[in-house]
Homo-oligomer: A and B are copies of this chain.
């Protein structure tokens, strides 16, 4: 057994396969991943010793000759992480296990939007959750932080964004880790939410898909080979850019604007409830948004040709359901489709946006992609 936290490349491929399949025997894994049984035995032994996966004790009786397969699965509490999501007007936090189960969660209203205040409040909330859950703090692999907004230049190090004016230029490792006392990673809200789908939701078994995140803005992510493709300045898959801000667009902010103009007293997305959904102004917005999003799906299908397009966000769930129902219905996306257009699916893990943030450390530790230090060493 090794002492390092990070599993090796093929060990992560095994974790990834188990996530996609649910359960699998060592022999299954060897076949699927083109590894030798001996390698699988060794790596899974490692992973079991570390508590990341577990062997089911029930013997399976398939009626088949030969040694009965012993099924492996992810150990739910094998990798616990913390997540912090900063809304414009609230802080959402949670602790999550490796199967995407939210152990505890909390919502905090922030006094002001200064960097210090928000991070101090968020860290205090995580501390409360740790105490409340009785979890050993050392078992937390890391804390993910996500919030809406575009990155500025020099991605990774700096993240000044418009929503939080007055914030200093931030180096994730240097400025955030001290608050939380564990490794911290950061991503834009939509791309973090996409990770929640990749690791715990609708995209568990997909390698290439696109995610559309409808919140105050229109965000998104494209996953290529189980890895978010970021592009220059992390601007890839920022679908919102396809809808000019000078014109009506399918964003939550646009919806709130229409509601306000119609005299409906709603200023936050979280204040929209079932009673609003049948208002004429709401129907009008929805119909228009669906048309625009159908066009977006066409564009995504033609550019990324993903295995699926997944819709999620902080809009009212019924609204998102309706949008997906319409888009996945009969109306064709466009002309000249010689192959079926990608299926359009509803996100499963957007009820708690902080879960996306909590998926970030999972991605760092378990992502089945090759990391820089491994490319260097050649594994």
A interface residues with partner B (beta carbon < 8 Å): 8-10, 13, 33-35, 39, 150, 153, 208, 222, 224, 229-239, 241-242, 244-246, 298-307, 334-339, 342, 370, 372-373, 375-376, 378-379
- List the B side residues contacting A337 at CB < 8 Å: 241
Residue of B nearest to A231 (CB): B305
Q: Which residues of B contact A233 (CB under 8 A)?
A: 305, 339
A305 → chain B closest CB, angstroms: 3
Measured CA separation A231–B234 after assembly (Å): 20
Whether B245 pairs with A335 at a CB distance below 8 angstroms is yes
Chain B residues positioned under 8 Å from A300 (CB to CB): 303
The one of B224, B245, B304, B339 that contacts A336, using a Cβ cutoff of 8 Å: B245
Asked if A236 and B305 make an inter-chain contact with CB atoms under 8 angstroms apart, the answer reads: yes
- Quick one: which of A224, A302, A373 has the most chain B CB within 10 A? A302
Q: A307 — nearest CB in chain B belongs to which residue? A: B232
> Complex Cα distance A278/B234, Å?
42
Find out whether the CB atom of B342 lies under 8 angstroms from the CB atom of A244.
Answer: no
- A234: chain B residues at CB < 8 Å are 305
How far is the CB of A83 from the nearest CB of chain B, in Å? 26
Residues of B within 8 A of A153 (CB): 339
Chain B residues within an 8 Å CB radius of A372: 34
Whether A238 touches B9, Cβ cut-off 8 Å, given contacts A224-B224, A232-B307, A379-B379, is no
CB <8 Å contact, B208 and A306: no
A-B residue pairs in contact (CB < 8 Å), sample of 9: A153-B339, A232-B305, A232-B339, A232-B342, A235-B302, A235-B339, A244-B335, A303-B304, A370-B370
Closest CB-CB distance, A31 to chain B, in whole Å?
12
B305 touches A235 (CB 8 A): yes
> Distance in Å from the Cβ of A300 to the closest Cβ of chain B?
7
Contact A9 B335 (CB under 8 A): no
Are B232 and A303 neighbours in the complex by a CB distance under 8 Å? no
* Known contacts A232-B306, A233-B305, then 12 further A-B pairs from the complex at CB < 8 Å, ordered by chain A residue: A9-B375, A33-B375, A34-B373, A34-B375, A35-B376, A208-B231, A235-B302, A236-B303, A237-B305, A239-B303, A241-B337, A242-B298
Picked from B8, B39, B299, B375, the residue with its CB within 8 Å of the CB of A242 is: B299
